[in-house]
């Protein structure tokens, strides 16, 4: 697998990171803050931030940002990590499908939206710094990382509804085989070109497809293959 898709799959496993903006109050200095995020179907991070927050003031003055995500390990320097460097821009015409996707992953954000002063911003990657392990250090241009906003964005709600209503047994098989767990409650909350995510009790589990898919039919084929593999064990 090339570095771009590997970095994309790494980022899909994370939903919070350290957001660095350029300070307005302390002109020219970096300002770090913690920010949850959800990837859109191009794999660009989408954040929900308050107009009262320091980082929002900074972004509105200068949209250049970085977002650092890291695997949680005892030795932080040995952990895989990725820094997205790009431009944060407000999503003034927020897509209803994208908002629904965001809330599927971060349902507590619904109360923030209800406050009325939170807005969605998209970080448009320029380049990424990916450290996948010892000696695996790469600068990755956005063109090698991002996907086209393909058919998966449009079919996601239908696929989720179908899998959750009619294929709960398959979801359990995936959890048992790929993550060695047997959750009491589970729901598929998102599917994309690289795989899908399942909320299993209190955990969020990531499942990668063997290869990138570009249509609902390709996703169906990948899901069937994974189901057969799981049941064969």
**pLDDT tens, residue by residue, 141-181:** 999 999 987 778 889 999 999 999 999 999 999 999 999 99
Q: What is the domain count for the chain?
A: 2
67 plus 134 within the same structural domain: yes
Q: What is the mean pLDDT of the chain?
A: 93
**Res 95: pLDDT:** 87
What is the CATH number for 99?
Answer: 2.30.110.10
What residues contact residue 129 under an 8 Å CB cut-off, 6+ apart? 82, 83, 85, 137, 138, 139, 140
Task: Give CA angle at 17 (45, 8), nearest 5°.
Answer: 45
Same domain for 12 and 72, yes or no, is yes
pTM above 0.75, yes or no: yes
Q: Quick: pLDDT tens for 24-80.
A: 999 999 999 999 999 999 999 999 999 999 999 999 999 999 999 998 875 777 678
The domain of 182 spans: 151-231
Look at residue 180 in the predicted model and tell me its pLDDT: 94
Q: Which of 96, 117, 145 is the last residue of a domain?
A: 145
Indicate if 183 and 217 belong to the same structural domain.
yes
Asked whether the beta carbons of 177 and 230 are under 8 A apart, the reply is yes
Please state, as a whole number, how many other Cβ atoms lie within 10 Å of the Cβ of residue 203.
12
């Amino acid at each position: 697998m090339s570095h771009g898709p590997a970095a994309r799959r790494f980022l899909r496993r994370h939903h919070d990171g350290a957001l660095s903006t350029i300070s307005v109050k302390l002109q020219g200095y970096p300002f770090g803050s913690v920010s949850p995020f959800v990837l859109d179907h191009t794999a660009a991070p989408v954040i929900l931030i308050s107009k009262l927050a320091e980082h929002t003031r900074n972004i509105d003055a200068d949209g250049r940002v970085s977002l650092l995500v890291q695997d949680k390990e005892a030795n932080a320097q040995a952990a895989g990590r990725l820094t997205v460097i790009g431009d944060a821009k407000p999503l003034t015409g927020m897509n209803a499908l994208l908002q629904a996707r965001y809330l599927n992953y971060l349902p507590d954000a619904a109360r923030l939206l209800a406050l009325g002063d939170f807005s969605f911003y998209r970080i448009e990657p320029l380049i990424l710094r990916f450290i996948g392990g010892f000696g695996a250090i790469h600068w990755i241009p956005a063109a090698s990382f991002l996907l086209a906003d393909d058919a998966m964005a449009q079919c996601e709600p239908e696929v989720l509804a179908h899998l959750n209503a009619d294929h709960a047994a398959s979801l359990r098989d995936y959890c048992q085989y790929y993550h060695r767990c047997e959750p009491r409650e589970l729901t598929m909350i998102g599917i994309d070109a690289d795989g899908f995510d399942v909320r299993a009790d209190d955990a969020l589990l990531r499942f990668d497809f063997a290869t990138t898919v570009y249509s609902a039919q390709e996703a169906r084929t990948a899901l069937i293959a994974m189901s057969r593999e799981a049941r064969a064990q």
